[in-house]
Amino acid sequence: MSTPIRHGGDLLAAARRHGRPVEDWLDLSTGINPDGYPVPALPADAWLRLPQDDDGLAELAAQAYGAPRALPVAGSQAAIRTLPQLLRPGRVGVAVQGYSEYAPAFARAGHEVVPLAETDFAREDLAAQLDHLVVVNPNNPTGRTLAQATLRAWHADLAARGGTLLLDEAFMDCTPERSLAALADRPGMVVLRSLGKFYGLAGVRCGFVLAEPILLAALADQLGHWTVAGPARAVARLALADRTWQAATRDRLQQAGIRLATLLRKHGLTPVGRPLFSWVPHADAARLHEALARQGVWTRLFDAPPGIPGALPSLRLGLPPAQEPAWQRLDAALAQALATTRSDSSILSS
C-alpha cells in the first residue's frame, strides 16, 4: 500500500484535531492567493450546457501565457497523473523537496525516479544523466528559481536524446518574464500552468498544458471529453482576460511577499521569500508548527528530506489575507509560538 501524499489546505482535519472551529483559523497552509479573483455571477448556460471545447478558452490561455497553444485540463493534477504515461520510460529526475505528486506518477508509469537534492539543480550537467527532468520553477516549497539559460540548456540536452523537460510554472504568474511558455511547442518541452495560485481559484480545478501539438492531442485523447467543467471554463475565461486585475495583483503580491519575509526575519527566522509564500527551514519546525496551530494559525510542515545530510525540517507559510488584523494576528502568534518553542527546547536539553 502506497504512502498517502500530503498537501496543504487540510484545514478541516486541523480543526477537528485541535477542537477549534474552522472559521477561527488563519489558514496559511497553502501558497494560494488569499484575496483571489472576484468571480461574478455566471450566466445560466455555464451550468446548463455541457462544456464546450471551442469556447475560446484554449486560445485565450495561450495568449495570456505567451504560448503557441494550450490544452485546458482539470488542474495541473490531471496532467501530472497522465503525462508520464505518454513519455517513453526512462530515468526521470524529480526534486526530493518539491511537489510530491510527480515521483509516484512517474513510478506508476514505469519510469525510474531519480531523487534530486536542491544542490543538484546547481549542476550544469544535471540533464546529461537523465531521460526526463521535472523542474518546478519557482520550486514549491523551497522557493528555488532557475535561470532561463539553464533551463534552455537542459532542454536542448534532453530533447536531443528524445527526452523531456517538464516545467511546472504554477507560481510563475507573479514573474511572467521568467516563463518559458513561449518555447512550449518545441519537442521535449512541456509547461504546466494553473489558475490555483496567483488567481486564488484552486477550487475551480482548471489548469493548462503547453506543449507541441502531437503531445497535446495524445493527452486530450487520454483525458477524454469535458475534463474542465463549464462553470470553471467560464471563470477561467474571465480571469485570464482581466489584465487590469492581473497587473494590480502582481504588484500587491510582490509587496505582500516582501512583508511576510520581513515579518519572519523580525522574529529571528531565516525565510526564503516569494510573492505567494515563505519557506522557513528550522530545526524545531515541528514544535513551531504545533505551537502556531494551538493559536489557530495553520502552516504546512515538511519533514527533513531523507538522504540529504544536514537538511532541516521546514515550514511553509502562505500570505495572510490583505486585512490588517490577519497580519497582526500572525505577528502575535509568531512571538508566542517562538517563545514556547524556545522554552520547550530549553527544558528538553536541560
Residue 350 has pLDDT above 90, yes or no: no
How large is the average pLDDT for residues 44-68?
A: 96
Residue 10 has pLDDT above 90, yes or no: no
How large is the average pLDDT for residues 120-124?
A: 96
pLDDT-derived band at 345, boundaries 50, 70, 90: low
Segments making up each domain of the chain, as ranges: 11-31+244-345, 50-241
pLDDT of residue 7: 72
pLDDT of residue 15: 95
pTM, two decimal places: 0.94
How large is the average pLDDT for residues 164-191?
A: 98
Cα distance between residue 285 and residue 302, in whole Å: 8
Cα distance between residue 138 and residue 197, in whole Å: 12
pLDDT-derived band at 6, boundaries 50, 70, 90: low
Closest residue by Cα to residue 324 from 250, 256, 248, 251: 256
pLDDT-derived band at 306, boundaries 50, 70, 90: confident
Continuous H helices in the chain: 11-18, 45-48, 57-65, 75-86, 102-108, 148-160, 213-223, 230-241, 243-266, 285-293, 324-349
- According to CATH, the topology of domain 11-31+244-345 is Aspartate Aminotransferase, domain 1 (3.90.1150)
- Whether domain 50-241 has CATH 3.30.450.20: the reply is no
pLDDT-derived band at 341, boundaries 50, 70, 90: confident
Tell me what the pLDDT averaged over the chain comes to.
Answer: 95
C-alpha dist (Å) from residue 21 to 25, 252, 277, 288, 319: 7, 30, 24, 21, 21
User: Cis link prior to 141 (omega < 30° from 0)?
Assistant: yes
Provide the total of helices (H) and of strands (E) in the chain, helices listed first: 11, 13
What is the chain's Cα-based Rg?
A: 21
Residue 343 has pLDDT above 80, yes or no: no
Q: Report CA torsion sign: 62, 275, 250, 230.
A: positive
Cα distance between residue 171 and residue 207, in whole Å: 12
pLDDT-derived band at 111, boundaries 50, 70, 90: very high
Enter the DSSP assignment of 120.
Answer: G
pLDDT of residue 349: 46
Residue 195 has pLDDT above 90, yes or no: yes
Residue 293 has pLDDT above 50, yes or no: yes
Amino acid identity of 276?
L
pLDDT-derived band at 309, boundaries 50, 70, 90: confident
